[in-house]
Amino acid sequence: MGTVIARKQKDGSTRFQGQLLIKRDGKIVHRESRTFERRQAAAAWVDNREKKLAKPGALERLHNADPDLATVIDQYVRESIKEIGKTKAQVLRAIKEYPIAQKRCSTITSEDIVAFAQQRVAKVTPQTVGNYLSHLGAIFAIARPAWGYELNQTAMEDAQVVAKRLGISSKSRDRERRPALDELDKVMAHFTERHRRRPSSVPMHKIVPFAIFSTRRQEEITRIFWKDLDVEGSRVLVRDMKNPGEKIGNDIWCDLPPQALQIILSMPKVCAEIFPYSTDAIGAGFTRACQFLLIDDLHFHDLRHDGVSRLFEIGWNIPRVAATSGHRSWKSLARYTHLRQTGDKYAEWNWLSVATEPLSPRSRARKRDGRRRDKSTKGRQSGARGTSTRQELFSVTTPAPRVPTPVAALGGRPRKAHSLDE
């Protein structure tokens, strides 16, 4: 049903708004309006729209060209050739649970986007809200040119400015936290003793120093394959390296400092990955250890920050550091140059000798989902008692010497390790 309403303007003139509202089964299925200078023009527009939308299938076709935001999100995920990362997929699913996702594309304004941001900031930090708006902005950027949907990109840009000015959203703040040597001594003593008592546990006494010396992120560590290791060139192919706008398929060769290469070569070749463990197991294990040891506010990612800072402290230049860390720009590395010290604080680190001792292949690898990888071979091992199944499974067959309990665990200092440069 259509109507024409007269509206007074601030300058004293009158304009006429034609309004069209269609109901089905008592529910509003379509609403639109348009303003004219003359009443006759508004009435003619209402009459013309009513006749067009009364034709069979016209309303359905109109709505198909103006779907709700949730439908556009699904289409974006479905048609994107470039695989969408886990974090972005989770964000897009979360957005579909909010009222803005049920609105038609043509009706979404900057006010609606700001309201959504305000709803999110009540539950998460402004930095997280900024990430939500960034991922949602990617859909607004392509909806009109790709599919002809009336998502207003200008409305999104305006909303991002408003959200930032009001403090609803913000960029992630750079952390400056770095582990102290006495904190790492406690962590290494804890993990070394744990692995001595439970050889099947994740060898965190190797992963922690590897994260520092290689400057690799947690997820990248679990995606390093033996086939991608170049021992002679002391480098490794890091797959799906994190990068704004491009992660999946972003495979980068990164240099390995000698300490990191030594740790890799101490690992047994039990499967395709060098560190065949789940990110959940690594992250949770590190967090629980810090809580148990009363180490405050230390994250696993802080090990990478410490590793990159160390490279500058020992005198490496920007291109050489970037070749190791995988950073693509000077801007990304700028915050690492505000150094508090010079020289290598790990030059006489006693735990490096423990981290580079060969790991026994009897330390069972785990799949990414946390289940034990050797269960699939249990039947073969029990059915062939006279054969040496272990030699078929592992390319490294020489058992490693037992890792001694560090004296540091008892309050003293472990024995000094030889420098790799000696």
| Secondary element (H or E) of residue 155 | helix 153-165
pLDDT digit string, tens, across residues 364-393: 555 444 444 443 333 333 333 333 333 333
Nearest alpha-carbon partner for 252 in 220, 279, 274, 275: 220
DSSP 171-240: PPPPP-----HHHHHHHHHHHHHHHHH-TTS--HHHHHHHHHHH---HHHHHT-BGGGEETTTTEEEETT
Average pLDDT of span 245-266: 84
Query: What CATH architecture is 181-410?
Result: Orthogonal Bundle (1.10)
Q: What is the pTM of this model?
A: 0.58
pLDDT digit string, tens, across residues 99-140: 999 998 989 999 999 999 999 999 988 989 999 999 999 999
Tell the burial category of 160 from Cβ atoms under 10 Å away from its Cβ (0-12, 13-18, 19+): buried
What are the residue boundaries of the structural domains of the chain, listed by start? 2-64, 69-165, 181-410
Distance of CA 323 to the CA centre of its chain: 21
The residue that leads in pLDDT, 283 or 56, is 283
Rounded-to-integer distance, Cα 305 and Cα 181, Å: 14
| Secondary element (H or E) of residue 20 | strand 14-24
Rounded-to-integer distance, Cα 167 and Cα 403, Å: 52
Q: What is the pLDDT of residue 177?
A: 86
Q: Side chain identity at 3, as an amino acid letter?
A: T
DSSP 296-328: TT--THHHHHHHHHHHHHTT--HHHHHHHH---
Q: What is the pLDDT of residue 414?
A: 42
Our CA dihedral for 338, 340, 346, 347, rounded to 10 degrees, sits at 100
Given strand 235-238, what is the order of strands in its sheet?
229-230, 235-238, 252-255
pLDDT digit string, tens, across residues 62-101: 666 788 999 999 988 888 766 677 778 889 999 999 999 9
- With pLDDT > 70 as the criterion, what percentage of the chain qualifies? 79
Query: What CATH architecture is 69-165?
Result: Orthogonal Bundle (1.10)
CB-based contacts of 132-138 (< 8 A; 24+ apart in sequence): 132/91, 132/94, 132/95, 132/169, 133/159, 133/160, 133/163, 133/169, 135/88, 135/91, 135/92, 135/95, 136/91, 136/92, 136/95, 138/76
Q: HSE (CB half, 13 Å, CA atoms) of 136?
A: 32
